[in-house]
Chains A and B, each alone.
Chain A
Amino acid sequence: MLSAAEWAIIGLSLKISLVAILLTLPVAFALAWVLARGRFPGRMLLDALVHLPLVLPPVVIGWLLLIAFGQSGPIGQWLQSWFGVSVIFRWTGAAIAAAVMALPLMVRAIRLSIEAIDRRLEGAARTLGASPWHAFRTISLPLCLPGILAATILGFARSIGEFGATITFVSNIPGETRTLPLAIYSELQVPGSETAVTRLAIIAIILSIGALVASEWLARRHSGAEGTAHVL
């Protein structure tokens, strides 16, 4: 039904998005925790920095990534000298772009769920003999699981749709950085490609709805205690 080229585009998009989410999830959780619970000077600044990808034009984020990860950029130089790798024009770079763009959405979703935890439950756990770490693992973490789940789905959807930062940062290379949105854009440049565009657009819709259905299913499996743990 789908052509080999279309399967390749789907595979690349999924690979990039999954890697981006796995990369971002621990970072987003740590940031969300610090922003929800931490009281330190510079918290507002950190909050603003985390939200930058949400408010800046994606092209600007792509350009900033290019500066940071470029051959003479601070991170780019470091990666080159320590690992001998470059992420420019590579799918890994596309994953980084997707990760950065997904970060604020994920932090927001997780932070809301952390703020919704009744901290007195953690106190109760402590009086029952739990160390802070044990209370975190057995009380706080399970209680914000719906938020983590929502963040994962939101982040995944955002990553699958990432366009501006990706094309600016790692260009539009077939088989390497040409994800689904970039492929749709490329087809649109070719006259008489309506069918190809339609097919790719339908794939995008199916992927997004699939993610949503999967999240609802997961939320339901986890909803025993809460009754209604809707993700979105």
Chain B
Amino acid sequence: MSFDIDLTRQLGAQRVSARFATGPGLTALFGPSGAGKSSVLNMVAGLLRPERGHVVVAGQILFDGTIALPPEQRHAGYVFQDARLFPHRRVAQNLRYGERLTEEDRRWISFDRTVEFLGIGHLLDRWPRSLSGGEAQRVAIGRALLSAPRFLLMDEPLASLDRPRREEILTVIARVRDDLKLPILYVSHDRDEVERLADHVVPIG
């Protein structure tokens, strides 16, 4: 089982809950905006604490009644909708941020391979604010991969992109899914996207 997840948390007036167990490949959390899909990802990443439930990813318990690993010990590669690159670091330093924090024997992809895989070699000296949405998203994916994640979390990574860029990043994500064989938890409200990428679909909300 790649993702075995059962979560509940009250956020203001909203009750966010999710319960699913899915196999390898890409699991899409599909539902309307505001259904709490991002909160589910944040709880899996350890950025938000569930009231109860459990989070087990690829056999490792990240959260249950007694265990609650901090985000830095969960080895999640989180790709945010807004890329969320560090504005005070050039692209290369953004990419290296997580790599530096990973022990060498845990790394499974090299800097050069990541750069080549994502086609971002020409961006390394740039500042994040000078990147287009699609470029920023590719760098964000690279930054996540270089932290040697055991699984990926993707929060509407295409939502802030125009159509040609969407197609480009969609292809990148499909390649990450097929070539790197990482379990991916993918949030989207776009039916087309989900149909093209998902191995499993979990409706939320």
Contacts and interface: CB of A to CB of B under 8 A. Distances in A.
Nearest to B129: A227
B187 to A, nearest CB: 15
Contact of A123 (B71, B101, B144): B71
Interface string A118-142: 1011011111111100100011001
Interface residues of A, number: 21
Contact of A128 (B46, B87, B128, B143): B143
A106 B127 CA distance: 30
A41 interface: no
Q: Is the interface of A mostly helix, strand, loop or mixed?
A: helix
A125 B88 contact: no
B111 interface: no
Contact of B147 (A120, A128, A134, A226): A128
A121 B71 contact: no
Given A123-B71, A126-B70, A127-B74, A134 B101 contact: yes
Contact of A226 (B45, B80, B87, B144): B87
Contact of A143 (B72, B74, B88, B98): B88
A139 B45 CA distance: 19
Contacts of B75: 129
Contact of A121 (B42, B84, B143): B84
A128 B77 CA distance: 7
B98 A128 contact: yes
Interface string B58-95: 00000000000011101111101000101111000000
Interface string A187-228: 000000000000000000000000000000000000011110
Contact of A138 (B80, B97, B127): B97
Contacts of A118: 84
B89 A126 contact: no
A126 B47 contact: yes
Contacts of A226: 87-88
Contacts of B47: 123, 126-127
A118 B89 CA distance: 15
Interface in B24-47: 42, 45-47
B101 A128 contact: yes
A224 B127 contact: yes
B22 interface: no
Nearest to A126: B71
Contact of B46 (A125, A126, A130): A126
A127 B86 contact: no
A128 B88 contact: no
B44 to A, nearest CB: 10
A134 B100 CA distance: 12
A227 B97 CA distance: 22
A142 B89 CA distance: 10
Contact of B72 (A120, A131, A227): A131
Contacts of A129: 72, 75, 98, 101-102, 147
Question: Which of A125, A128, A142, A224 has the largest count of B CB atoms less than 10 A from its CB?
Answer: A128
Given A126-B46, A128-B97, A120 B84 contact: yes
Given A128-B144, A129-B147, A225 B101 contact: no
A118 B129 CA distance: 15
Contacts of B70: 126, 131
Contacts of B97: 125, 128, 130, 138
11 contacts: A121-B84, A121-B87, A123-B42, A125-B97, A126-B47, A126-B70, A127-B47, A127-B71, A128-B147, A129-B147, A131-B72
Interface of B: 42, 45-47, 70-72, 74-78, 80, 84, 86-89, 97-98, 101-102, 127-129, 143-144, 147, 153
List the 5 closest pairs (A to B, CB-CB), nearest first: A128-B98, A129-B101, A126-B71, A225-B88, A127-B78
Given A118-B84, A128-B144, A226-B88, 4 more contacts: A127-B74, A128-B97, A128-B98, A225-B128
